[in-house]
Amino acid sequence: MRFLLGEFMNANRFKTSGFRSRAAFAAASILLAGICVVALGSAPARADRCDDLAGQLKNQIDGLSVGKTAANAIYLSHPAAKQLMLGCPNRKFTFELIAGSDSRKPKPAFVDLVARASAIIFTIPKSDTLKGVNRCIRRMGILHGSDVRTRYRRLNMHCTRTKTSAAISVSRGNDE
């Protein structure tokens, strides 16, 4: 290696005037490395909006815990819901809350959880989201069937139920 470096330094392409240019080059490279470390190292790590929103939900709703993030969604858990998921922004929606109940007729605690989470996610008063969620869940039945889509306060609500469970999806389109 020394031989190759010596041949390279002795070539006529690079003329060095001794210690000064090597020391200046070393000082400049150390200074440049220091600037890069300061510039890149001091920038705070920022989570995306979806992670921030999941943290807000965890802090403001008792019993809610944040699970894994996979496929543009954050899985949440709460004792009142069998399934709870926060969908991150995509081409169609800004955010989406998907909640599933373990009974055909959801309990008031489940409805309250969905309304509270929707109020936090979409920055709407809880009373408005509670009214919209109740309206969507109550419409499921003999007249409207087991698959109901409603719209309330610029929120799209999609309620479905099977013989053993019920689910609701609350979202807002990107164009609103």
* pLDDT of 9: 52
Are 138 and 73 a contacting pair, CB within 8 Å? no
Per-residue pLDDT tens over the stretch 76-124:
999 999 999 999 888 888 889 999 999 999 999 999 999 999 999 999 9
Give percent helix, percent strand, percent coil of the chain, each to the nearest 5: 40, 30, 30
The H or E element spanning position 147 is strand 147-152
* pLDDT of 70: 86
Enumerate the domain spans of the chain.
2-41, 49-173
* pLDDT of 84: 94
- CA-based R_g, the chain, Å: 29
Beta carbons within 10 angstroms of residue 157's beta carbon? 24
* pLDDT of 39: 47
- For Cα atoms 100, 104, 107, give the angle at the middle one, nearest 5 degrees: 70
170 vs 157: CA distance, rounded Å = 5
Give the pLDDT of the chain (176 residues) as one tens digit per residue. 455 445 545 555 555 555 566 666 665 666 555 554 444 444 344 458 889 999 999 999 999 999 998 888 999 999 999 999 999 888 888 889 999 999 999 999 999 999 999 999 999 999 999 999 999 999 988 778 888 899 988 899 999 999 999 999 999 888 76
